[in-house]
Structure 1
Amino acid sequence: MKYTQLGRTGLKVSRLVLGTMNFGPQTDEPTSHAILDAALGAGLNFVDTANVYGWGENKGRTEEIIGTWFAQGGGRRDKTVLATKVYGNMAGDGDPWPNHDRLSAQNIRRAVEASLKRLQTDYIDLYQFHHIDRRTPFEEIWQAVDVLVQQGKILYAGSSNFPGFKIAQANETAARRGSLGLVSEQCLYNLAERRAEMEVIPAAQEYGLGVIPWSPLHGGLLGGVIKKAGEGRRSASGRSAEALTDPAVRAQIQSYEDLLDKHGLDAGEAALAWLLSRPGITGPIVGPRTVEQLHSALRALEVELSAEVLAGLDEVFPGPGPSPEAFAW
């Protein structure tokens, strides 16, 4: 397993992040535990979740599944860098009590305690703000975070889905307080969605944040969806199927798959390997539903993309260009 440091921290994390969004809604508890065991056995030590995962009436279920895995012992918790998130309303659906969501000091305190209980642990390595909160000043957010750090309930704070200017605002506020501030940003970033290169990733690099891309296969669109459908292995569904109804998108994905076929590369593994090659990237989040999907993702760590392949990918999926030069008049 390949490791890197999480941003400007001393924390060593695996170059792939195990996402657990499917645990509960699509993957049952025994299979989820098998995936976690296989990941840990392969040296993958970075596990990402959120308090709302499980969704609907089952919000919190994903954290509970991870908690029952930790409870089996065997050093599982000590070997795991655990990340979870706060923001979404955890009150029952149709019963949206005020102060049960967002980033008020009250909700942060409540949410941490609830997550610790579900996760069956006494600390969270990386506590992430799932979205920006326009109603709560960062002074209040950092005051709450500083207390939790002093109590030993969290070690570091990170953001998710923050624009570049909010990363700057958050860390400038933290600096005035003498706080560490954000150490990571979890953002949408993949070959087909490169807008993070405009401001989010440059801001993260400027402030020493690790970048953790989510949806590395863009909802399956970059996983060889056309080829798999042609071979009868699996047809496109959901966002992938909808996107492929656009002739321009379908032509682009076909060009992508043709390029990788020419070089004997698996589409999904290549999409992950491309992210791993990008500057400032800590590691992409993979969300396997089965142990076999996990093994496929792990193979991406051994994939080396040639200069020819990288140039071809840039031709199929051109990025916005270097920042800030690409945005000058």
Structure 2
Amino acid sequence: MKYRRLGRSALKVSELCLGTMNFGPRTSEEESFAILNEAVAMGINFIDTANQYGGHLGVGATESILGKWFAEDPARRDRVILATKVYEPMSGDINDRGLSARHIQMACDASLQRLKVDHIDLYQMHHIDRTAPMEEIWQATDRLIAQGKITYVGSSNFPGWKIAQANEKAIARHRLGLISEQSLYNLTERRAELEVIPACHEYGVGVIAWSPLAGGLLAGPSGEADGRRHSPEVKAGTAARSEQLSLFAELCIELDETPGAVALAWALHQSGITASIVGPRSRQQLIAIGHVPEIVLDGAALARLDAIFPPIGPAPEAYAW
């Protein structure tokens, strides 16, 4: 496994980040534990979750599974960088959602209880909250840091302007600010290159790519798509991009790699990307992509990928005049 600094912080995280959204709703507790154990054995030290994950089992179910795994062996906690998120509705209560200072404090305490840990390494705002002033948000996170409950703050699904605003407000408070942004980014969805990634580069914010396989669209027929390649959305995407995917498959055959492995490796070859999130449903799926950090795509391969999946450029001034 290879490691990179998370943004401008001194924290080092594995290039593959274990996403846990499947834990509970799609993957049993037993198999989730097997995936976690395999991930640690592979050298993955970065685990990402969210307080809302749980699907039909209910919000918080995924964090609770992680909590049981940590409780089995308390030494595990010190071996991983643990990230979770706040924003999504956790109940029908009008205040049990968003990024108010009150909800941030209560949601963090609830996550700590479910995870059975005393601190969260990276606490991420899951979405932008247009009703919450950044001053209020930073006040709340400053308090959590002072209490020792969180160490770093990150964002997810933020636009470039909000990343800039958040960090400018933090600078004014003489605080570190955001160190990471978790963004939708893959070969078929490159809009983050326009302003999000440039903004992150300017402020020293590491980018964590989520859905690097485009929900299964880029996984190919080898079963790396977490079973989602048969969904109506992926089927529609496959039909709409049939020519692109055919050219992509041909390139992957030439590279002697699976489409999923190439898609994950491509993200890690892009400027500003710290890690790619992988969300395996089974231990075998994780093992199949464990070699991704070792894949080297040369200039010719990267150029062909750009030709197949063109960037939306030039960034960051695509529409400026």
Q: In the alignment, residue 261 of structure 2 is paired with which amino acid?
A: E
Aligned pair 1:185/2:181, yes or no? yes
Alpha-carbon shift at residue 104 of structure 1 (Å): 0.2
Alpha-carbon shift at residue 328 of structure 1 (Å): 4.1
2:164 aligns to what?
Answer: 168
Out of 313, 323, 326, the position equivalent to 2:305 is 313
Alpha-carbon shift at residue 326 of structure 1 (Å): 4.1
CA distance in 2, matches of 1:151, 1:235: 44
Select between 315-324 and 165-174 the one with higher mean Cα deviation.
315-324
CA distance in 2, matches of 1:187, 1:160: 6
1:13 aligns to what?
Answer: 13
Alpha-carbon shift at residue 145 of structure 1 (Å): 0.3
What TM-score, normalized to structure 1? 0.93
Which runs of structure 2 are paired with 1:283-302 in the superposition (5 Å)?
283-302=275-294
Alpha-carbon shift at residue 56 of structure 1 (Å): 4.6
8 Å Cα contact 2:197/2:207 also seen in 1: yes
1:157 aligns to what?
Answer: 153
Aligned pair 1:212/2:208, yes or no? yes
Alpha-carbon shift at residue 210 of structure 1 (Å): 0.6
Alpha-carbon shift at residue 181 of structure 1 (Å): 0.7
Which runs of structure 2 are paired with 1:45-60 in the superposition (5 Å)?
45-56=45-56, 58-60=58-60
Alpha-carbon shift at residue 235 of structure 1 (Å): 6.4
Q: In the alignment, residue 132 of structure 1 is paired with which amino acid?
A: I
2:75 aligns to what?
Answer: 75
Which runs of structure 2 are paired with 1:1-329 in the superposition (5 Å)?
1-56=1-56, 58-73=58-73, 75-91=75-91, 96-225=92-221, 228=222, 236-246=230-240, 249-329=241-321
Give the 3 Å change call, closer, same or farther, for CA 14–307 of structure 1 in structure 2. Answer: same
Q: In the alignment, residue 93 of structure 2 is paired with which amino acid?
A: W
Alpha-carbon shift at residue 244 of structure 1 (Å): 2.1
Q: In the alignment, residue 301 of structure 1 is paired with which amino acid?
A: P
Q: In the alignment, residue 209 of structure 1 is paired with which amino acid?
A: V
Alpha-carbon shift at residue 264 of structure 1 (Å): 2.0
Secondary structure, aligned partner of 1:71: helix
Select between 263-272 and 58-67 the one with higher mean Cα deviation.
263-272
8 Å Cα contact 2:100/2:132 also seen in 1: yes
Alpha-carbon shift at residue 57 of structure 1 (Å): 5.0
Select between 255-264 and 206-215 the one with higher mean Cα deviation.
255-264
Secondary structure, aligned partner of 1:260: helix
Secondary structure, aligned partner of 1:183: strand
Secondary structure, aligned partner of 1:289: coil
CA distance in 2, matches of 1:198, 1:275: 15
Supply the RMSD in Å over aligned alpha carbons: 1.6
Alpha-carbon shift at residue 269 of structure 1 (Å): 0.4
Give the 3 Å change call, closer, same or farther, for CA 205–265 of structure 1 in structure 2. Answer: same
CA distance in 1, matches of 2:291, 2:232: 26
Give the 3 Å change call, closer, same or farther, for CA 220–264 of structure 1 in structure 2. Answer: same
Q: In the alignment, residue 240 of structure 1 is paired with which amino acid?
A: V
Q: In the alignment, residue 170 of structure 2 is paired with which amino acid?
A: A
5+ unaligned residues in a row in structure 2: which ranges? none
Q: Report the count of equivalent residues.
A: 318
Alpha-carbon shift at residue 216 of structure 1 (Å): 0.4
CA distance in 2, matches of 1:235, 1:168: 36
Using the aligned pairs only, state the percent identity.
55
What TM-score, normalized to structure 2? 0.96
Q: In the alignment, residue 62 of structure 1 is paired with which amino acid?
A: T
Alignment deviations for residues 67-109 of structure 1 (CA, whole Å, 9 cap, x no partner):
0000011621000100000001111xxxx21110000000001
Secondary structure, aligned partner of 1:186: strand
Secondary structure, aligned partner of 1:272: helix
Secondary structure, aligned partner of 1:75: helix
CA distance in 1, matches of 2:135, 2:67: 32
Alignment deviations for residues 247-285 of structure 1 (CA, whole Å, 9 cap, x no partner):
xx1111111111221332211100011111111110110
Alpha-carbon shift at residue 290 of structure 1 (Å): 0.4
Structure 1 residue runs of 4 or more that deviate by more than 4 Å after TM superposition: none
CA distance in 1, matches of 2:56, 2:257: 38
CA distance in 2, matches of 1:217, 1:134: 29
Alignment deviations for residues 166-219 of structure 1 (CA, whole Å, 9 cap, x no partner):
000111111111121111000000011100000000000100011000000001
Alpha-carbon shift at residue 296 of structure 1 (Å): 1.7
